[in-house]
Amino acid sequence: FQRTEAPRPPEGKDLHVYPWDKSSLKSMPVDLQQFEKLDAYALKVNVKNSVEELVKALLKQARTDLEKVRAIWMWICHHIEYDIVGYHNKSQLSSKPIDVLQTGKSICEGYAGLFEQMCSIAGIQCMKLSGYSKGYGYKMGQTFTGDSDHAWNAVYLDGRWHLLDSTWGSGAVDDSFTKFTFRYNEFYFLTHPALFINNHFPDNSNWQLLKPTLTLKDFENNMLHNSNFYMLGLLTAHPETAVIQTVNGKASVSVDCRSATLFTFKLKGTDEHGLMTLKKHGMKLDIYPQKTGSHKLQIFAKPSKASEDVYNCVLEYVVECKSVDKAMRFPKGLHQPVGPSWFTERQGFLRPSHPNPIIHTNDGRCSVTFTLGKDISILASLHSDNSSLTEDMRRRHIMQIHRGNQIELKIHLPHAGNFVLKIYAKKKSDPGNYDYIFNYLITCLNTEVKWPAFPQSYSKWVEDYEILEPLSGLLPANRNIQFKLKMHGIAKVLVQAENTYPLTQSRGYWEGTCNTSGCREVFVMVHENANHSFYSHVLKYEVETQ
């Protein structure tokens, strides 16, 4: 084992461009699969009597400098735990490498010191660096003064300096700072300097390994992206500052990512007062706090392929709200994300007529169309906070019209206000329940609006039948009413009011009139087969009372 010569300070060829070029999370090409055997070997090494002996044992399987550094890193991250008691009582604490090795615990100073000595024994140039960190106890937007609070390392590999932090690679302390949990984090091994600067600010700015270097003010103001952010393939977030001021009661956040990712958010612990939409490469969130003051906003993410329902926190902001936009009070039933996306496309809802999450209607009517994937049956219902609609009526304000693989949802709102249009689906071949897929927000400010429900349909009303008139489920009294229905595969159609009126067929439509005097309900009935005397009810209308 040769001792290394004094390390050279960083120079031009060590520097990486800031901001991050989104190329790689690491500062040199690293193939983690090639490390699998070495990693497994390093974890099993169990030498505690001297640092030299430990290094000697670890290097048996390591040939290149990169492999040597990897073996040392792996061993430290899995065998040294963070010393919480020592952190609170530093006078009792030794950060000497041999003491760290023998007690198996330390604070960052000891991790970095042991790393430095082990590299030195292995003949690899290594520096122990100190500076400020956005680690335990960091509050968003805080300033840093006084002595540095963290230590990490730089190692010299392939003619360049690289950064790593074995303290943060080993695990994490809980919020109350009473318990350390080993949880290996690959992110902090040879981290790209433009990402490392996110939460490590060295006392000597040369050790940022960046051009241009950041000032302490930049570091304080910059958004903290934790390692989950990058490990999930997220690229950038806007705004880039931790504190967001609302403008006219609204604040917006967006995230860009490489691949399909699912997001959720919490504003002061709930996902109300926001409107989140998924994009192919990220998401957009508009927040409308309903109280002034400072609110904590957290964004969570998980890969779309993840089987567990575990979302990781990837961003935190503080939203400072000066004024409230009362018009943007969303119904409680609104589910995030809102509107169609790559996710709803995967569920078989293609080519939506309304790609945006909010549908504005002035006259209280709107129509939403999709091309449906094969074998999909859908349910839709309407929800509003100030509505006493029964479960049945929530569906009766929406009419489904099928034309081939196209579906149209015709919506007539019962009154003005904000409504949630919830859409459920299942495979027609599945006997089971409908699954919730997504929702829209429908808004109508026109207080004159008061549409009755559509007529009630029965099981014999086939999916691709269509009502052209009357669309209203409430008919005026003492009037002649024109009927026009599109139905196929039946022999006869009757409209039953006080009297019975047959409809006649022409060009695929059944047409005729009926009079509503003297009755409270009107039924449409069909004869499926001319030889049967049996009629089936397909539609029911109410008649207004005088």
What's the chain's length in residues?
A: 546
Tokens of 458: 């029965």
181 has which bridge partners?
A: 172
Whole-Å CA distances, 317 to 136, 223, 240, 241, 302: 17, 8, 10, 8, 19
Spatial distance between the Cα atoms of 273 and 254, rounded to a whole number of angstroms: 16
Spatial distance between the Cα atoms of 496 and 87, rounded to a whole number of angstroms: 85
378 has which bridge partners?
A: 425
Active-site residue, 77 included: no
Spatial distance between the Cα atoms of 411 and 365, rounded to a whole number of angstroms: 6
User: Among 16, 78, 79, 150, which one carries the catalytic annotation?
Assistant: 150
Residue type, 264: T
Residue type, 131: G
Active-site residue, 165 included: yes
Beta pairing, strands 417-427 & 376-383? antiparallel
Closest CA to 534 of 487, 484, 488, 491: 491
Tokens of 183: 């949880």
Whole-Å CA distances, 277 to 140, 175, 306, 417: 26, 31, 19, 21
> Which three-class secondary structure string do you get for 314-335?
EEEEEEEECCCCHHHCCCCCCC
User: Among 14, 39, 165, 286, which one carries the catalytic annotation?
Assistant: 165
Spatial distance between the Cα atoms of 517 and 454, rounded to a whole number of angstroms: 20
Question: Are 493 and 514 a contacting pair, CB within 8 Å?
Answer: no
Containing H/E element for 105? strand 105-106
| Biggest distance spanned by C-alpha atoms of the chain | 108
User: Among 79, 83, 108, 397, which one carries the catalytic annotation?
Assistant: 108
Q: Which residues contact 388 (CB under 8 A, 6 or more apart)?
A: none
Beta pairing, strands 282-287 & 251-257? antiparallel
Spatial distance between the Cα atoms of 490 and 500, rounded to a whole number of angstroms: 18
Spatial distance between the Cα atoms of 91 and 88, rounded to a whole number of angstroms: 9
Classified as helix, coil or strand, 58 is helix
Spatial distance between the Cα atoms of 130 and 149, rounded to a whole number of angstroms: 8
Question: Are 284 and 254 a contacting pair, CB within 8 Å?
Answer: yes
Spatial distance between the Cα atoms of 421 and 330, rounded to a whole number of angstroms: 12
Q: Is 443 exposed, middle or buried (0-12, 13-18, 19+ CB in 10 A)?
A: middle
Active site residues: 108, 150, 165
